[in-house]
Amino acid sequence: MRGWFPHPREKGGADTGPSPVDRRKTGSKHHLICDGRGTPLKVITTAANVNDVTQTLALVDGIPPVAGRPGWPCRRPDALLGDKGYDSNPNRDELRHRRILPVISRKGSPNIKGLGKLRYVVEQTFALLHHFKRLAVRWERRTELHDAFVSLACGLICWRRLKKAGSDRVTKSPG
C-alpha cells in the first residue's frame, strides 16, 4: 500500500514540471477564468511548463451554470478576454463556433487598447487566490489535495464577495 503515495523524501508530484523562470526547480501553474467582477468560475492546476493556450477550452467548458435572471442558467460567456498567451487560431474558431467572442491580442502585434484595464480583473483574482499562502507555493504532492485547497479558496473568495455585497445593501437606520 505504501507504493501508492509518495515517500516523504520525494519531491514534486503529479502536475509539476520545470519552471520557465527557474529551470532547476519544478512547479505548477494555475489557469483561471472569472467573470467581469473577478469572481472565480474555474481554476485548473497544471505543470509549470504547460502552455496557457492548451487550457483555454477546458476552462470555458468547466464554467458551471450561473443562475441569475429568470430562465435557464447561463453556461457560457458572451466574450472571452485573454492575453497573448491564449492566442491560437483553432481556439478562436472553436470559441466562435460556441458563440463566444474572442478578445485576445495577437502575438507580434500591439496590445488591444484598453485590454490591460480589463485584464486587471483577472490579475486581481489571481492575487486574491494567492493571498492564501498555501496556494502561492505548492506544498502538496498530490494534485487532488491541492485542487481541494484551490476550491476552498475560491469558495471563500465568493463568500466574502457575497458578504460584502449584502452589507452594502443594508442601510443604517436613523437614530
Full-model pTM:
0.74
The one-digit pLDDT tens for each residue of the chain (175 residues) are 555 655 555 555 666 666 666 666 677 888 899 888 888 989 998 888 888 889 889 999 988 877 777 777 777 888 888 878 888 899 999 999 999 998 888 877 766 666 677 778 888 998 998 888 888 877 777 888 888 999 999 999 989 888 887 776 655 545 4
38: left (phi over 0), alpha (psi -120 to 50) or beta: left
* DSSP codes of every residue in 94-139: HHHHTT-EEEEPPTTSPPPTTHHHHHHHHHHHHHHHHTSHHHHTT-
CA distance 96 to 119: 20
